[in-house]
């Protein structure tokens, strides 16, 4: 298949049909081998563009678009290598198998999805849709997620690479590209080889509506509560059974309802119980701790320790364990130390005409960990919403602006390096 002159829509439609759903608690890396299906396809497409692309045993795809600056150019030898990153996996929360993308010319109002008409993208819940009247949208058919998170980012980077390769008059320094696995399960940078990647600055293409730029994420930890009870036939259970499900229910009931995802916004922190498994003898609960101030994670920890201690007194025969795992930290703290990576992004978005603004991410990206690892990596919009759900949608008009922003950003780095 010749892919030298394909649109971002062509690429997105091809990529979303490949099931790359990752899996929590897997004992392999990547967590699902089917992520290699898209990764290997991308290697082939990059090679068709004339690039020397590689994939390693961990499913990281890397390539370089070498600098084309002539030695006479005032920025020759001065432009740092700049990287672009997107992830190939999709969320474990909703099936990514047998995705049937729908192309819609949006004229306003709610969007009823044909595969399951009970699934509706409501205009009242999606204020961004008003700005997309007249746009070409891609949705699911209502039976799966779309996978725009982050195959839109993948498609944007691939289309930008195609644009740069096909237009040698676009002068640029070394451009590094990496597609990562397992971002959705918090492991996207586990085997990320910074030295091999070779960029001094990078950008994840993994964002929301056009114009939205991200330099702040939550700091994040995870907690696992395990309750061990005592099982016995319920007919003879009096004064003997210790029901771990009932114990866990009391733990959940004591968690603050005003510190939940469904009751918070903007910079407000939350605790989020999101996976509950078990029976009478043993139950486990997974909880996300999120706070834009890293010190706030310690407050969450102490709150959970107090809740566990209180419930332990209520059920002295139960055994309750609390384990805390560090995940990622707010990238703001490191990014402000190298403001050029932010300033040049803002300028590129302004040139593109999307009226940029900074908005904190109520979540995290590979950029959070990459920044913490020493590679400053803010995040760029893709033009979609409702990620991780059957109501997911993306505007192709906006995604084309993402491609344009990437190209403009490359130009800005050259201009500022003279």
| 372 given a catalytic annotation | no
Question: Active-site residue among 45, 150, 183, 347?
Answer: 183
**Cβ–Cβ < 8 Å for 345, 194:** no
Dihedrals φ, ψ of 152, to 5°?
A: -65, -40
Taking a C-beta distance cutoff of 8 angstroms, is the pair 24, 31 a contact? yes
Coil, strand or helix at 111: strand
Residue 344 to residue 74: CA distance in whole angstroms: 18
CA atoms of 60 and 80, how far apart (whole Å)? 22
Q: Given its phi and psi angles, is residue 200 left (phi above 0), alpha (psi -120 to 50 degrees) or beta? A: alpha
Selecting among 45, 89, 149, 216, the annotated active-site residue is: 89
- Is 364 in contact with 297 (CB distance < 8 Å)? no
Nearest CA-CA partner of 175 in 63, 71, 69: 63
Among 328, 331, 364, 384, residue whose Cα is nearest residue 150: 384
Q: Which two tokens stand for residue 400?
A: 């084309």
Query: H or E element: which one contains 344?
Result: helix 340-352
Please state, in angstroms and as integers, the Cα–Cα distance from residue 362 to each residue in 192, 226, 261, 371, following that order: 23, 27, 9, 17
- Cβ atoms of 52 and 170 within 8 Å: the answer is no
183 is catalytic: yes
Q: Which residues are catalytic?
A: 89, 183
């Amino acid at each position: 298949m010749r892919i030298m002159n394909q649109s971002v829509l062509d690429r997105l439609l091809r990529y979303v049909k490949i099931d790359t759903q990752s899996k929590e608690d897997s004992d392999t890396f990547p967590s699902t081998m089917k992520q290699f299906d898209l990764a290997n396809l991308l290697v082939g497409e990059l090679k068709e563009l004339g690039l020397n692309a590689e994939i390693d045993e961990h499913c990281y795809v890397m390539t370089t678009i070498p600098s084309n600056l002539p030695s006479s150019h005032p920025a020759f030898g001065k432009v740092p290598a700049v990287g672009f990153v997107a992830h190939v996996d999709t969320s474990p929360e909703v099936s990514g198998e047998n995705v049937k993308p729908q192309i819609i010319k949006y004229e306003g109002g709610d969007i009823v999805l044909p595969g399951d008409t009970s699934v509706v993208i409501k205009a009242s819940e999606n204020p961004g849709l008003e700005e997309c009247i007249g746009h070409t949208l891609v949705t699911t058919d209502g039976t799966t997620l779309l996978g725009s998170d982050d195959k839109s980012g993948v498609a944007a980077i691939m289309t930008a690479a195609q644009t740069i390769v096909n237009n040698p008059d676009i002068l640029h320094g070394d451009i590094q590209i990496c597609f990562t696995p397992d971002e959705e399960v918090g492991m996207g940078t586990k085997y990320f080889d910074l030295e091999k990647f070779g960029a001094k600055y990078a950008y994840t293409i993994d964002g929301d509506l056009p114009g939205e730029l991200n330099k702040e994420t939550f700091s994040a930890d995870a907690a696992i509560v395990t309750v061990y009870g005592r099982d016995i036939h319920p007919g003879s259970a009096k004064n003997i059974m210790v029901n771990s499900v009932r114990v866990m229910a009391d733990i959940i009931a004591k968690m603050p309802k005003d510190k939940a995802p469904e009751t918070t916004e903007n910079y407000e922190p939350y605790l989020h119980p999101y996976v509950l498994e078990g029976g009478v003898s043993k139950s486990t609960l997974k909880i996300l701790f999120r706070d834009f101030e890293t010190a706030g994670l310690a407050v969450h920890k102490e709150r959970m320790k107090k809740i566990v201690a209180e419930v332990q007194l209520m059920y002295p025969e139960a055994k309750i364990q609390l384990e805390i795992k560090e995940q990622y930290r707010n990238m703001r703290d490191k990014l402000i130390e190298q403001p050029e990576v932010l300033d040049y992004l803002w300028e590129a978005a302004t040139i593109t005409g999307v009226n940029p603004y900074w908005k904190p991410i109520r979540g995290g990206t590979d950029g959070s960990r990459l920044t913490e690892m020493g590679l400053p990596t803010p995040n760029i919009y893709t033009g979609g919403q409702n990620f991780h759900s059957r109501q997911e949608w993306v505007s192709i008009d906006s995604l084309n602006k993402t491609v344009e922003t990437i190209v403009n950003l490359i130009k800005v780095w050259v201009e500022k390096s003279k």
